[in-house]
Structure formats: C-alpha cells, structure tokens
Chains A and B, each alone.
Chain A
Amino acid sequence: MSTASSQQVVHWQRTKRLMIIHLVIWFIFSFVIHWFAADTNKISFMHFPLGYYMAAQGSLIVFVVQLFFFSKQQDKIDRECGMAEAE
C-alpha cells in the first residue's frame, strides 16, 4: 500500500466517525425526544409546551445548525488528509 492510500484509509475512518456522530445527533432529535412528547409537553419553554416546541421548531434548528457544522468539519477532514478538491 502506498502512502496515498494509507492516507485514504485515515480519511475514510475520520469521515465515518463524523458520519456516526452526526447520525446520533440526528437520531436523538428525530425520534428520541418526540417519543417523550407527552411528558415534555408539561414543561413550558418560551411559553410553548416543550414537546410541541421541539417538533415545531427545536429539532429543525438543530438540523440546520448541525449541517453547517458538518460541512465545515468534513471539509477540515478532507484538507488535513490531502483529499480536498483543488480550489
């Protein structure tokens, strides 16, 4: 195996780790918190029932912010591993 391909292996490992981190966050805000909506609805958040707020807004904000972070993080991995595109 050449150096290039060992770099490729590292790149893919880091990419996979980033993928798993983001999918865990995604899973929590897509499914886990809404499963408990009946309970969280009893909590008030900015005058909203929390369960409703998370489904109507909270999870959405998490997804948007998460994707901008993901884009930055993956780009960093690409550059550090020498796998980024030529600018």
Chain B
Amino acid sequence: MSTRMTGSFIDNLPKIYGIYTGGFIAFILLMALGEHWGMSEDAIGIAFVAFTVVIYAVIGWLSRTMQVDAYYVAGRQVPAVFNGMATAADWMSGASFVAMAGGIYMGGFPYLAFVVGWTGGYVLVAVLMAPYLRKFGCYTVPDFIGTRYGGNLARFCAVVVLVVASFTYVTAQINATGTIASKVLQIPFGVGVWIALVAILLCSMLGGMRAVTWTQVAQYIVLIIAYLVPVIWMSNKQGFGVIPQLVYGDALARIAEIEPTLGVGVLKPEKAIPGLSALTVMNAAAPKGLIGNIQFVTLVACMMMGTASLPHILMRYFTTPSVKAARQSVAWSLFFIFLLYFTAPALATFTKLQVLDPNLATSIIGKPIESVMALDWVQKWHNVGFLSIVDANKDGILQVNEFFMRGDIVVLATPEIAGLPAVISGLVAAGGLAAAMSTADGLLLAIANALSHDLYYKMIDPKADTRHRLIVARVLLIAIGAAGSAVASLRLTGILGAVAWAFDFAMSGLFFPLVLGIWWKRANRPGAIAGMVVGFLAGTWYLYMVRWGGMTPWYGIDHLRFGIIGAGASVIAMVAVSLMTKEPDAETQAMVDEIRIPRGETYLSATH
C-alpha cells in the first residue's frame, strides 16, 4: 500500500476497517477498565485523543504517494460505500458534531433548518452535479469551470470563490479542533489551534486525497460511535429505550410541560454576556409568522445550495471508480450523515431534559446556585469561560435566564451533565476531534489543490513536472493551514456562524455556474464569469451591509442567509449575459453532450 494501491487492498477494505472498528471498541473497553482501576479523567481524555490521532497519522503515512492521480483523486478507485463514509466525515464538521445539537438546544425548532438543509443538499448533489463532474474527470472544481467555459479568467474566478468559501470554513474547523485540544490537554486555546494544525497536516500532507480518504473513513467510524453511544446510554438511563431517535417524542412532551413552569421563553437575561447565551426559546415551537417561515426556508435553501457548491464535497465524488458508483456513493454519504443528523435533535432533547427536569437528579435550573456551582462539569466549563452563572435577582436560586453557556459545549459536556462515566467524555472528545479534523483536511486539500492545480499548474507553469507539482501542492497545504490557524486563534465568531457563511459564499459564486454548465448548453464564458463575479460581490456586499453596515435585513434574510441574495444575483447575471453573448462553440456543446452520458472515458484524460 505504501507505493501503490493494489487491488487486494481495495478488496480487503471491509476486513481492514472491520478490524479497525473492533480495535477501537477494544480500546474503549480498555479505557473503561482503566477508569475502574482509578485512571484519572484527564488521563483518559488524553489517551483517547492521542490514540486516535496516532492511528490517523499512521494511515496518512501509509498512504503517501508521488503520483498525480493518487494525490488529487485517490486514484479513482474508492468504492461507493467507503467513499460515502469518507464524505460523511469530510462533511460532518466541528459544526455538525460539536455545535449542532447545541444549536438545537439553544435555538429550538428554527435551528432544525440546519438539519434539513445539510441533508437535503445531497439530493441536489446527486441529481444535478456529482455524476456529471465524475464523468468529466476533473481534479478540482475550478478545473471543471475552467474547461467547460474556457479561459483562465473563468478558472481564476472559480478559484477565488473556492478559496474564500473554504477558508471561511476551515478556520471554523481549526477553531473547533483547537477548542477540543485545549479542553482535553488543558492548554491555552492559542496553543491548541497550532497543535490541531499539526495533527490535521499529518493526515493529508504525504498522501493528498488518497491519505485523506482513508483517514476520513477511520474518522467516520470514530465519530459516529462517539456520537451515538452517549445518546443511547442517556436515553436508556432515562427509560426511553435503546433507539432514542424513535421515542424522544415523549421527552419533547415532558419538556413542553416543564417549560412554562420555569419561564422558558418568558424570562429574558438582564444583561448579555458576549459569546454566551441563556435559553430563551421554547423547544419545539414552530417558527412564528411570515418572517419566521421565510427565515426557516431561506436557511434551508442556503445550506442545500451551499452543499451542492462546496468544492471539498464535490471533489469526493471524483474519487469513485465510475459514474454509477458516484451516484450510489452520494446516497451512501447521505445515509451515513443521516445517522448523526437524526440523532442530534434527540441528543439536544435529552440533554435539555437532564438540565431542566426537576424530577431528575441532574437538573440545575431551580436549584440553589451554591450547589450548582459545586458541580464538577459546571466548574470545569466555567473555568474556561464557556459557561457563566449570574444571580440577577439575588435569590440564590438558579433561574433559566441566569444560566449562560456556549451552545458549542452541549455535546462535549453532555456525558458529564448526565453523569456518564469519564470514558464516555473521552470518547466524545475523540469523536469531535475526528469530525473537525476530517473536515479541515478536506477543506485544506480543496484549497491547496485548487491553488496548485488550477493556479500554479494550469495558469502559471503548465510545463511543471509531477514532482514539482506535488511539492508545490504540499507547500501550499502547510501555508494555508498556518494561515487558517492564525485566523482561528483570533476567534472571530462562534463555530456555526462562520460555517453558514462558507455555504453562502459557495452558493453565491459557484452554484449556478456549475449547474448551468451541465444542464444548460447555452451557458457561455461571459455568462459564467458574470455569474461568479456578480453573485459573489452581491452576496459579500449584502453580508457586509447587514452584519456591519447597519442595514435592516430584507424579509428576515440576515447575515446567515446572504447566499439567497448572492445566488439570486448570480443566476440573473449569468442567464442575461449568456443570452446577450455568442453561444458556446460546437466543441464545447459536444463536451456537454459527452458528460451527460456515463458511457465511455472521462472527458479529461486520466492524468491531465
């Protein structure tokens, strides 16, 4: 496997990852024993993180390569199911793993727009994009734009949009990785992000897409076990059975019953604490009124169209052995993602019940503040500034509007809140790390590949030899990773805010140029350039105006949803300019015909 991926390696994948999964479970049991024998919680956390990161690094080392197609598209031989797992890990970021359940916990029903948007987007990927891009045979997304529309300017615009969207996203991932590293290793966040970067680069630097693929599969297995185990455990403990996803309806009902007695949705915090929030929204209440509905569907639309435009996702489908496998692989990706996403609301619900329900020993709302402050998990998160208690009415009792926390910590703190063994906390930390690392790897690779393949090789030095190209790719990987860590250490926004922006940027600039490039033969170069430039600028302008410029959002389309404006401007500009200018030449139209049928060779040669 070290120099060439052999057929037998591919054939043996189920066995290899089966053994790996067994080994990981054995490790969890070993840690449980360790805890029983008095191993400290901190030591368990460190062991989990160290063990998993070492495994990823070993996979990264074994997958090293100096071949162009192995580096860029994993040699195009990743089977559909495994590519599905890799995509799921690539996809499920720190935001999905660490922040989503917390978002639902804090935001209630309106936050489910992320759950719907981040799954339904795959319908667009499968139906409109992935199979055709696979047939096309490109290495990167700008590679498709550059070849379909012709000319360096179109390619360059696509590279710019890709870099902005992915870079916004990757800083959030490094932030999440750093958060976990700083918590587990008990080091300052500023140091955590740099340690995170080293771990991330270990997976991707030597083997490019091939290494990232096989580490992502390993990371998926870790993250899904880490996500499901605590929820199942907690559900079982509360008497809801072992398939919590099906039965948390009763927990929802119980929360709805408790909420009025605690004043959820009525009591508001007296003073805001930056970065932290108190629970002020009813759990299952649907979005209210026209604006509420518009906000829900526009957020769904942004996350979906963003999904279908984000290059680190689309490029995963370049690695399958066939067009048919690419389609199947999208279905498998969504299935593996679904396993986590339909669990997130259940997790949020059970955790909320633990915190609110006065009948449960774990509840804190309505308890004396002194005793709450004495709880281990409250102290721990309080110390790192992720949680705060303010006795606003000075009665010594904790009200719902006096308890502030960062939504991001819900998943990480849940095992401690629910009083699960420390081994579960360690497992969850390893899972969160896997999620954030795998996404960071995919994103860094997407950016570095676009710069090395599209900017350097296609535009600056087309005569560069393989060795040179792959060295440039790696240097860029390190440089971009370092830039990402530097930005992440500034902590510009909460994890989820920046992630949503990445989707909006991607959809503003890339969605219509990609879709219309496949589905509308008449789309031409000036149209595509107009679509990318106008869409991207309109979206960015709107973001600036509503976020910093003091403009009132139109119909509730706030800074999380600016892609609606960008993509809207993009499609108008692209169609109008395409129709006003000459139709594409016969060769381009034949190319479009060619990519619409699975049969035959890829349009671009195997090693272009």
Contact = CB atoms under 8 A, between A and B. Distances in A.
A83 B297 contact: no
Classify chain B: how many residues form its interface, as a range.
35 or more
B424 interface: no
Interface in A17-57: 18-19, 22-23, 26, 29-31, 34-35, 37-38, 41, 44-49, 51-53, 55-57
B599 A84 contact: yes
A49 B330 CA distance: 30
Contact of A59 (B120, B249, B323): B120
Given A38-B287, A52-B109, A70-B331, 16 more contacts: A26-B127, A30-B297, A34-B297, A37-B287, A38-B286, A51-B109, A55-B109, A56-B112, A56-B345, A57-B245, A59-B120, A60-B338, A64-B335, A68-B331, A70-B123, A85-B600
A52 to B, nearest CB: 5
Most chain A beta-carbon contacts within 10 A, residue among B247, B250, B327, B345 = B327
A71 B285 CA distance: 36
Contacts of B285: 41
A83 B598 CA distance: 6
B167 to A, nearest CB: 28
Given A11-B597, A68-B331, A30 B116 contact: yes
Contacts of A85: 322-324, 598-600
Nearest to A59: B116
B575 interface: no
A68 B259 CA distance: 40
B351 to A, nearest CB: 15
A59 to B, nearest CB: 5
A64 B253 contact: no
Nearest to A86: B599
The 7 closest A-B pairs by CB, nearest first: A47-B249, A67-B331, A48-B249, A37-B286, A55-B112, A56-B345, A38-B286
Nearest to A73: B327
Interface string A1-25: 0000000100110010011001100
A60 B116 contact: yes
Contact of B247 (A15, A47, A52, A86): A47
A78 B324 contact: yes
Contacts of B328: 71
Interface of B: 109, 112-113, 115-117, 119-120, 122-124, 126-128, 131, 245-250, 252-253, 284-288, 293, 296-297, 300-301, 304, 322-324, 327-328, 330-331, 334-335, 338, 341-342, 345, 593, 596-600
Contacts of A74: 131, 327
Nearest to B348: A56
Nearest to B288: A38
B246 to A, nearest CB: 7
Contact of A70 (B126, B247, B341): B126
Contacts of B304: 30
A20 to B, nearest CB: 9
Contacts of B113: 34, 55
Contacts of A29: 120
A77 to B, nearest CB: 10
Contacts of B335: 64, 68
A61 to B, nearest CB: 8
Nearest to B289: A38
Nearest to B321: A85
21 contacts: A11-B597, A26-B123, A30-B297, A37-B109, A37-B296, A47-B247, A47-B250, A47-B252, A52-B109, A55-B112, A55-B115, A57-B342, A60-B116, A61-B338, A63-B123, A63-B338, A64-B119, A71-B327, A78-B324, A85-B324, A85-B599
Contacts of B249: 44-49, 53
A26 B323 CA distance: 22
A35 B120 contact: no
A71 B126 contact: yes
Interface in A66-82: 66-68, 70-71, 74-75, 78, 82
